[in-house]
Amino acid sequence: MKSKVVTLFIAVSFLWSLLIFRAAYLQFLPQEKLSHLQTKQFQTVITLPARRGSIYDRNGKELAMSSPAYSLYADPKIIENKKQVAKQLAKITGGNSRDIYLKIKDPNKRFIWLDRIINASAGEEIRNLKIRGLGLVEEWKRVYPNDTLLSSTIGFVGKEGQALEGIELMHDSILRGEKKKVSLRRDARGRPLIQDGLLFTETPQGKEMKLTIDADLQYFVEAEMATAIKKFEADGGWAVVLDAKTSAIRAISSLPTFDANKPNAASPTVRRNRCVTDTFEPGSTLKTFVLAHAIEKKIVEPNTNIFCENGAFRIGKRVIHEAEKDHAHGTITVSEVLAYSSNIGTSKIALKLGDQQLKEGLTGFGFGQKLGVDLPGEAKGITVPLPWHDHLLANVSFGQGITVTPLQLANAYAAIANGGILNQPYIVESVTDVETNETITMKPKEIRRVISAETATQMRMMLAGVTGDKGTGQAARVAGYIVGGKTGTAQKIKTEGRGYMKNGYIASFSGFIPANDPQLVIFIALDHPRKGYYGSTVAAPLFSKIASYAVRRDGVAPEILTEKTISKVKQDSLAQRFLNQDKKINIDETTSDIATTNETLTPQMKAFTVREVLSRAASQKIEVKLVGSGRVESTWPEAGQELPSDRHMTVFLK
């Protein structure tokens, strides 16, 4: 009996020893499996987006930023009076109480998002309700402080922080940073442990981006375009402003536009950056490149005579006419073909080139291919495959049968403006890592040389002739500067079916300023204007306003033409080729009446800031009276009118 008791005691003691040893083992030694079970039971993980990096213009003005916001979540199982809670939340967030109730009525759910990205004041109201089962997560809301400014280019993000359009989408990996996973603690029943109804987190930040855009110039461009669209009853418009030397994008606009803070209110068409994604037939603006390639290939020279058939040129069974009957010409020079925008003269030069040569030249200037701009959705345009029969060849020469993007056309003019180099256009100037303070600056990228420097100089002089007394671009002149450029009036292609829209046109002007040393290239186009449709009367005046503002804002010195400076121009060997011909463009006629700066006239100040107004007024010793606040809407006297003898003017701000 005694031995049985001892044996039982030993057995029980052994079992207890095993249990104590096991308990100690579990208590003091790490166990991955148990740790995983503990984590699974007492913690849940939610993923939060990082704070997106800000986007600035070239002068440091914010174009896109992230501000504090909150996201609301709930544990439906522990929420009481669900219908009442739903009504309270709907009143604060502006949501639908029924939708909120449907989300929280199921007691088996333990975590659900009720609203993502609500403003700070709404978050504070919800927190003060102290409703058990509701929680807030601190996040970041994307804000576009300038509303509609540059919206189709910058793009926007969704409620979940996902990039959807524009620069936000193209450079999402740079701006968004790394997402953060946040552990949310729960009690034994799986309920979230919320302290004061709010979960604070430290989120990483994406890199900051500086653009080549000048926000003030962009504002002026969009304001003037909107005015012109209204005046000519157009469907919309496009504008591109490039740095002539580098093809950096200084302004780019597609109107109508939209508020990037409310993107859902606009259609996909309006949200698209149509300067990059859409194509159109360029019309007469393409003649520049036909002539440039012909001169480069020694087919013609600027002073070569071309017989323009007095306005009617038969090619096979078809007849090519000038845009207007009074534009008919006999024998004129190649320079005058460009200045007068002769369809027949350009067609004859294209026929001399041949289809292979012409397509080679247009391809060289970047047409029919993507330029590689750092913006999404770039279109390459359309060039019809070879061979081109003579009539198609002629049509292409004056901008029909080929489509281009506004950016392509502006960039091709930049190649002429900068001496014959085709550069890759770009909009991102630099990227900065805010944590390391490391900055990467983008450099201009050359694609290829298209024409020689000599040919480019000849073309700049010829394009300056277009804005002369007898040229089609007189309205593009800017007082104090020599302007070079070309008008375009293109028929609008039908959106459905084949052929052209009846009475549908795209009026455009593409050029550079100042022509003697181009700093800026500007392309302007109005889509389907109903009150007037010629590029010379619709787009050229708009170019003049934008160019005038841009060069004065950049501090580009006016060219004061005197007998001395004109003599200097005449002594240039390239200019002499024009002056020695019977049929010539007189340099005196194209510049002398537009280049003099008169200090007695009221300066152009529209869209200036107060600081810019005061600076400009001080430099010209003008006394200014400011009325209102904001930017300049108008002045008295109006720009270009004589200043009073006391040199006082009134500036109206809005």
Is the preceding peptide bond at 514 cis, omega within 30 degrees of 0? yes
Q: Could you tell me where the beta strands, DSSP code E, fall in 272-381?
A: 305-307, 312-315, 318-321, 331-333
For the record, the structure tokens of 163 come out as 């990039």
Q: Residue 628, class by beta-carbon neighbours within 10 Å (0-12 exposed, 13-18 middle, 19+ buried)?
A: exposed
Strands in 249-255's sheet, in edge-to-edge order, are 249-255, 236-243, 520-527, 500-513, 484-493
Q: Which residue has the tokens 């002089």?
A: 461
Q: Give the DSSP letter of residue 283.
A: G
Non-local CB neighbours of 439 within 8 Å, separated by 6+ positions? 430, 431, 432, 433
Active site residue 284: yes
Helix ranges restricted to H, 233-296 = 268-271, 274-277, 287-296
Q: How far apart are CA 39 and CA 422, in angstroms?
A: 60
Q: Give the DSSP letter of residue 527.
A: E
CA distance readout (Å), 395 to 36, 351, 384, 402: 74, 11, 12, 9
- 3-state class of 648 per DSSP? strand
Q: Please state the separation of Cα 495 from the chain's center in Å.
A: 24
366 and 157 in contact (C-beta within 8 Å)? no
For the record, the structure tokens of 616 come out as 């400009």
Is the preceding peptide bond at 387 cis, omega within 30 degrees of 0? yes
Q: How far apart are CA 249 and CA 213, in angstroms?
A: 6
Q: Residue 29, class by beta-carbon neighbours within 10 Å (0-12 exposed, 13-18 middle, 19+ buried)?
A: exposed
Q: Which residue has the tokens 């320079």?
A: 335
CB atoms within 10 A of CB 571: 9
Q: Which residue has the tokens 């593409």?
A: 510
Helix ranges restricted to H, 54-200 = 82-93, 97-104, 120-129, 151-154, 166-170, 172-175
CA angle 505, 507, 513 (to 5 degrees): 165
Q: Give the DSSP letter of residue 401.
A: S
394 and 170 in contact (C-beta within 8 Å)? no
Radius of gyration, alpha carbons of the chain: 34
33-58 per-residue burial string, b: 16 or more CB within 10 A, e: under 16: eeeeeeeeeeebebebbbbbbbbbbb
Active-site position among 284, 335, 347, 536 = 284
Beta pairing, strands 623-627 & 648-653: parallel
The dihedrals phi and psi of 505, each to the nearest 5 degrees, come to -135, 160
Write out the H or E segment, with its range, that includes residue 442.
Answer: none
By annotation, the residues acting in catalysis are 284
